[in-house]
Every structure is written in structure tokens, then in C-alpha cells.
Amino acid sequence: MIERLRRFASGPPPDAGEAAALLRLVYLAVFGGQVLLALLVGLLIAALVPSRGAPNDIVAVVLLAMALFHLPLGWLLGRATVHAGGRQSALSGIIAAAVLFSIPAWFGVLLLVSGQGPVYLVAMAAVLSIGYVLGFLLTGAAARVAAADTTPGDDPRQGAPAPDQESRS
């Protein structure tokens, strides 16, 4: 995967299908990694702290509201970064969106370890699912931006001006 990322960032412009496949893989890896890490931390906390406090609706609603806030934030920030232009911005936007859209997993862990009701856990899972879908949709736009990027990559062997052209600039 590292070699594919290197080619994406510094090689010739990819076609839309190739860019979409790579960006979706990156999105899945970052999003899934964050969710998996949150679940592992939650299981560790649940194992170390067996007693939970009484459910508190105010805490659950605040956590759910904070998770909902990350949906438009992830969409707007990811979209703005993707549309800044170029393959690198498309990749950066997808990574930023994956991180922001996976934050509700951490709030879900807080709901779980604080003993909140199942209604709030299901609502948090729905928010997390919506975030995943929004990010997956964003990878399509990012792939189109990456495929339209005609600037040479960071590879000095590609797009480097001839020595006599450098002296004229």
C-alpha cells in the first residue's frame, strides 16, 4: 500500500478508477483503524473498571450532540481540503475526513463505559454509520480531483525543466 501511495503522490496522474480505489482503501484503513482502536480502549476500560455509574440522559445527549457536530465538520473540512487542488490535497482531505467521521466511535465508547442506555448506543452507531457513508461519498469527489491533477508529482525525474530552461526563469 505504501508503494501505491508513493506512486499516487509522485507519479503520473492516476485515472479516476485507480484514484478512487486507492482513496477508498486509505479511507477504510484510517476510519477502521480509529474505530478498532476506540473499541479496544473501551474493552480495556470495561475490563479494568467493572462498576459503572447510573445512566445519565444529559451526558448521553451531550455526547450524541458532539458526535452529530462532527458530521458537518468532517464533510466541510474534508471537502474544502479535497477541492484545494491536486492529488496531495485529495489524499489529505480523505485522511482528515476519516479521522473526523470516526470520532463518534470514541463518544460511543464513552457511552458504553459510562453505562448509558441502549437507545443512545444505537443512535451513536447510526451517527458513525452516516459518517462512514459521507466519507465514502467524499472519496468519489477526491478521486475526480486527483485524476484531473495534471501537475507533475514530487518525483524530480518527472516534469523537471531542462538545465538550459532553468537559467531562463
132-167 tens-digit pLDDT = 999 999 999 888 888 887 665 544 444 444 444 444
Percent of the chain clearing pLDDT 90 (strictly above): 50
CB 114 within 8 Å of CB 53: yes
Express each pLDDT in 96-135 by its tens digit. Answer: 999 999 999 999 999 988 888 899 999 999 999 999 999 9
% of the chain residues with pLDDT over 70: 88
Q: Mind giving me the DSSP string for 72-111? A: HHHHHHHHHHHTTSSHHHHHHHHHHHHHHHHHHHHHHHHH
Residues in Cβ contact with 129 at an 8 Å cutoff, skipping those fewer than 6 apart: none
Amino acid letter at 147?
Answer: A
Q: Looking at residue 147, what is its pLDDT?
A: 83
Query: Around Cβ 155, how many Cβ atoms within 10 Å?
Result: 14
Please state the pTM of the whole predicted model: 0.81
